[in-house]
Amino acid sequence: MAFTQLLLIFLGGGLGATTRFILSTFVNTKTANPDTVNFPWGILSCNLIGCLLIGATYGWLKSHHPEWIHPLFVTGLFGGFTTFSSFALDTQILIQNQAYLTAAIYSIGTLILGLLLCATGFFITSQL
């Protein structure tokens, strides 16, 4: 593995994680309800946007393949922007708070919508 690839992944990952923190904090602040267990809209937003963008980037890479794009954007930026571990923690917190239906909707919705958005992004850009 070349040093350049590692540097691109490092830069993209840092930017992605920072962007995830900013967006998820903003969304959670706007959707917070002090009277209920809050649905994790922030991480859901990041994961779904990331699925669309990673699918679109992958579709675009099929026909345009600069070597620096994949490590910077796919592995780095979108890998840092989306997060399975935060998704898992949010689901665990919902379960601990006995919000079982919300946990199920969040888990199933994240999986189905994530796959659909990734496929949509791929389809759109692979047709260009």
Q: Is 110:44 a contact under the CB 8 Å cutoff? A: yes
Binding-site residues for Na(+): 79, 82
109's tokens: 């919705």
Distance (Å, rounded) from C-alpha 54 to C-alpha 68?
15
Per-residue pLDDT of the chain (128 residues; tens, 9 = 90+): 799 999 999 999 999 999 999 999 999 999 999 888 899 999 999 999 999 999 999 888 876 678 888 899 999 999 999 999 999 999 999 999 999 999 999 999 999 999 999 999 999 998 87
Q: Binding site residues, as ranges?
A: 79, 82
Contacts by 109-117 with C-beta closer than 8 Å and gap 24+?
Answer: 109/44, 110/44, 110/47, 110/48, 113/48, 113/51, 114/47, 114/48, 114/51, 115/51, 117/48, 117/51, 117/52, 117/55
What's the pTM value of the predicted model, to 2 decimals? 0.92
